[in-house]
């Protein structure tokens, strides 16, 4: 069986999840049509240079560390299990799961990020470990047969998709009935977003001043299609996934002055404070900076292919 790994054709091993040959033509190309037949143009050379910060404050480090920890743990990536990393980017999560012995496939349309993922995997995995397979594919048209994976996850990319619910449906379709679908999404109705919005409205309406910063954290960035909050996440997910857990990650990220305060605190005290707020986020995910939704695929007309 021929599959695409890292943009190159090779012979897959006998255990490799079956590729849908009928969908191969939809993987690549500078333009493609969505489900309504509208033409859209995509940047297949996109990398993450515009979103990866050159330096991070302790609160940012904690947020990304915890988001990754919670997301990857939810996949139950035991040795030998097949895991699909949707919108795998530069491959750091796929590589982390490969280190645990999982058999990982990363699906990513960007040629540049796929190449970066290959290089990252080669540099960070021992020779005796199975490397992830990098497949160039779209989240809303995954090129795999039904029930091909033990788990599928998407971390921090759902709001970049122009048809995110189709991506959830596809993740449910390619995951076994007793497997797991894991979605980690930024919450634009977090406590930090609400407080910052209220501060800016007060400054504008009562003081006649502008916002505290040029880019407001509660606004949808230009490369996002969806402004997610908890109810919308659950509404989209439950059509295709039987939701088992909803967990919040971190509280406070993006509050005015928060990063500066955390930077000036002694590091042990800062970590204690961040972990305390993270514990609150687990109890009240609607206030959290990131929400991780975990469930099992539904098997009905919405998720089962013809």
| 201-229 tens-digit pLDDT | 888 888 888 776 666 777 777 778 899 99
Domain boundaries, the chain: 2-297
How much is the pTM?
0.84
Q: CB of 287 within 8 A of CB of 166?
A: no
Residue 243 has pLDDT above 90, yes or no: yes
Q: What is d(CA 9, CA 121) in angstroms, rounded to the nearest whole number?
A: 18
Closest CA relative to residue 42, chosen from 111, 102, 103: 111
Residues 6+ apart with CB under 8 A from 65: none
- 203: nearest Cα among 244, 240, 256, 152: 256
Measured torsion, CA atoms of residues 48, 153, 138, 232, in degrees rounded to the nearest 10: -90
Helix (H, G, I), strand (E, B) or coil at 90: coil
CB-based burial label for 257 (10 Å; 0-12, 13-18, 19+): exposed
pLDDT in tens, 105-128: 999 998 889 999 999 888 888 887
- The pLDDT, as a whole number, for residue 31 is 45
Distance separating alpha carbons of residues 61 and 132, to the nearest angstrom: 25
**304, pLDDT greater than 50:** no
CATH 2.70.180.20 corresponds to the domain 2-297: no
Q: Give residue 40's pLDDT.
A: 52
173-196 CB burial, b ≥16 within 10 A, e <16: bbbbeebbbbbbbbbbbbbbbebb
What does residue 179 show for φ and ψ, rounded to 5 degrees?
A: -85, -165
- Measured from the Cβ of residue 87, the count of other Cβ atoms closer than 10 Å reads 22
Give me the phi and psi of 2, to 5 degrees please: -95, 130
């Amino acid at each position: 069986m021929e599959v695409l790994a890292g943009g190159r054709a090779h012979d897959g091993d006998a255990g490799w999840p079956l590729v849908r040959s009928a969908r191969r033509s939809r993987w690549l190309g500078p333009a493609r049509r969505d489900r309504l037949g509208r033409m859209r143009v995509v940047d297949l050379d996109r990398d993450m240079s515009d979103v990866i910060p050159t330096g991070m404050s302790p609160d940012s480090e904690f947020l990304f560390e915890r988001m990754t920890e919670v997301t990857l743990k939810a996949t139950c990536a035991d040795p030998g299990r097949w895991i699909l990393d949707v919108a795998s980017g530069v491959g750091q999560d796929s590589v982390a799961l490969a280190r645990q012995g999982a058999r990982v496939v990363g699906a990513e349309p960007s040629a540049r990020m796929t190449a970066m993922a290959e290089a990252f995997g080669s540099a960070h995995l021992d020779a005796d470990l199975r490397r992830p397979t990098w497949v160039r594919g779209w989240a809303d048209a995954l090129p795999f047969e039904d029930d091909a994976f033990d788990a599928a996850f998407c971390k921090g990319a759902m709001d970049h998709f122009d048809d995110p619910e189709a991506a959830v449906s596809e993740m449910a379709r390619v995951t076994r009935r007793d497997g797991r679908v894991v979605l980690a999404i930024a919450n634009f109705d977090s406590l930090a977003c609400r407080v910052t919005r209220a501060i800016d409205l007060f400054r504008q309406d009562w003081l006649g001043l502008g916002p505290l910063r040029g880019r407001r954290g509660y606004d949808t960035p230009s490369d996002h299609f969806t402004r997610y909050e908890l109810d919308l996440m659950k509404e989209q997910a439950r059509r295709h996934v039987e939701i088992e857990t909803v967990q919040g990650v971190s509280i406070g990220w993006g509050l005015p002055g928060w990063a500066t305060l955390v930077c000036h605190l002694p590091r042990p005290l800062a970590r204690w404070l961040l972990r305390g707020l993270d514990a609150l986020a687990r109890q009240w995910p609607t206030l959290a900076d990131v929400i991780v939704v975990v469930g099992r695929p539904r098997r009905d007309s919405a998720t089962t292919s013809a």
